[in-house]
Structure 1
Amino acid sequence: MLCGCLSASAQQVTLKAQLQLTRDGHRAKDASKAVIWLTPLGTTPAPPVAPQTASEVPQLVQTNKSFRPSLLVIPVGGKVEFPNHDPFFHNVFSLFDGKRFDLGLYESGTTRYVQFDKPGISYIFCNIHAQMSAVIMALNTRYYGISNSHGDISIPNVPPGRYELQIFHSSASPDELQALTREITITSGDSFIGTFRLEESNIAHAHMNKYGRDYDRPDPQSPAYARP
């Protein structure tokens, strides 16, 4: 049994990919925060995603009227904490694909938790501050990588086999991302799985509030803006 485990481990490879992000035909300076993930197909082993421990619960912090970080990738079933570090109220919500929730108004110094119990991409907004946005991806595979600012992506410990490859970037259109979905076969000698080109759009910046309406103009006297 030990020999079999060592043999399987020795066959695992670290896959590399390159993302090229452009806008109006020009190469973007920052190609970070693209995600490539591989889902095993057919007889390819699909080990269960490791459950999240209490110490591994990530935070999506609300600070300076923004979410930090703007992208989180977690295992299906994992939780995310949403602490409010701003000196005013926030109302975090997501009513799109992925996890649907509305945390309501909560004040500075308090926090909320959400469990993401199914795979999907959740777009996170604040119902008060329209400029706030983030993405949480809940994946049911352990084989994924996130691009750095140069567009370099690394996916470690991938066994040979058949996979569905998918890619995500918040600035790319769904149609463009869907067109890049493909089946690939990995062998023990593979290391580079390709260069992927995406065109930035404004899709991530256009959204309504949780009621499906345009955002109200900011009111400086509102408790959402004034220090509580």
Structure 2
Amino acid sequence: MIKRLVFSTVFLTLSLSAQDLTITARVTFDKADGRKVNAGQAVVWLSPQDSHSNVAPPTSVQSPRLVQHNKTFEPHVLVVPAGSLVAFPNRDPFFHNVFSLFDGKRFDLGLYEAGSSRDVRFNKPGISYIFCNIHPEMSAVVISLDTPYYAIASPEGELVVPHVPPGKYTLHLWYEGALPEILRALSREVIVSEANTTLGVLHLPQAPLSAAHKNLYGRDYDPPVPASPTYARP
């Protein structure tokens, strides 16, 4: 009886896993002004429309981090499950002051020195634009999701979303600099089935050139002062 129960459980698990599908797509940009656009900055995710469906919990990212190195954030785009604790280690030989004042998560980590790290919990779905209050050239994006079905495009624009159960979903897209109304217009319903495992080619309008962002206090950045302890560590 026990062997039969174990076999039935394994068979059911394998059957359910076999139903999961791999969804593919490709992103291209309309080059209205001839600028070269990195398709690797595009993110696609699928939100199940059936609230009663058995949706797997978001896949955990192993110790998600946005590393500060050479006055950049690495990686530039980070996707995490909502509720994730993200580390912001400073690998530069000088101070940083990481902050975000936008819709996804608002925070100010203050000044912290080389070799130290601070954490932020992204406790709800949203898109957070990350900057440094000392170095205006530094920027990154953290996208926190309540669905495990997402993909970040390769530099060539290829997207692969694994382990998607058949069903009805809302397709969402994000890419650098896109206006909210453009992103809303690109959202649409898709049906995933064994006969429909591709989203096709997603033609995205090129985003406008972004203006220089302000600092933590809503003002223009001061010119760098290399001798300052907030800029370089002696």
TM-score, reference length from structure 2: 0.89
CA deviation vs aligned residue, 1:62-110 (integer Å, no higher than 9, x gap)? 1111111101111111111111111111100011011111000011111
Partner of 1:104: 110
1:45 aligns with 2:54: yes
1:5 aligns with 2:13: yes
Whether the 8 Å contact between 1:22 and 1:200 is mirrored in structure 2 is no
Q: Percent identity?
A: 50
Whether the 8 Å contact between 1:41 and 1:162 is mirrored in structure 2 is yes
Question: Which segments of 5 or more consecutive residues in structure 2 lack a partner in the other structure?
Answer: 1-8
Secondary structure, aligned partner of 2:22: strand
Report how many residues are paired. Answer: 224
Whether the 8 Å contact between 2:60 and 2:80 is mirrored in structure 1 is no
Partner of 1:156: 162
CA RMSD of aligned residues (A): 1.7
What residue identity is the alignment partner of 1:47?
Answer: A
What residue identity is the alignment partner of 2:38?
Answer: D
Partner of 1:33: 41
1:146 aligned residue (148, 152, 155): 152
What residue identity is the alignment partner of 2:199?
Answer: I
CA deviation vs aligned residue, 1:154-182 (integer Å, no higher than 9, x gap)? 00111110111100111322222111011
Q: Shift in Å at residue 24 of structure 1?
A: 2.6
Q: For residues 89 and 27 of structure 1, what CA distance do their matches in structure 2 show?
A: 34
Q: Shift in Å at residue 8 of structure 1?
A: 2.0
Q: Which has the larger radius of gyration?
A: 2
Query: Aligned runs of 1:1-228 on 2, under 5 Å?
Result: 1-26=9-34, 28=36, 30-42=38-50, 43-51=52-60, 56-198=62-204, 199-203=206-210, 206-228=212-234
Question: Which segments of 5 or more consecutive residues in structure 1 lack a partner in the other structure?
Answer: none
Whether the 8 Å contact between 1:162 and 1:184 is mirrored in structure 2 is yes
CA deviation vs aligned residue, 1:118-145 (integer Å, no higher than 9, x gap)? 1111100001111100001111111001
Q: For residues 76 and 16 of structure 2, what CA distance do their matches in structure 1 show?
A: 36
Secondary structure, aligned partner of 1:224: coil
Q: For residues 22 and 70 of structure 1, what CA distance do their matches in structure 2 show?
A: 22
Q: For residues 187 and 37 of structure 2, what CA distance do their matches in structure 1 show?
A: 25
Secondary structure, aligned partner of 1:227: coil
What residue identity is the alignment partner of 2:12?
Answer: G
Secondary structure, aligned partner of 2:39: coil
- Structure 1 stretch 147-156 or stretch 13-22: which is displaced more? 13-22
Secondary structure, aligned partner of 2:110: strand
Q: Shift in Å at residue 27 of structure 1?
A: 7.3
Q: Shift in Å at residue 17 of structure 1?
A: 0.6
- Structure 1 stretch 171-180 or stretch 8-17: which is displaced more? 171-180
TM-score, reference length from structure 1: 0.91
Secondary structure, aligned partner of 1:5: helix
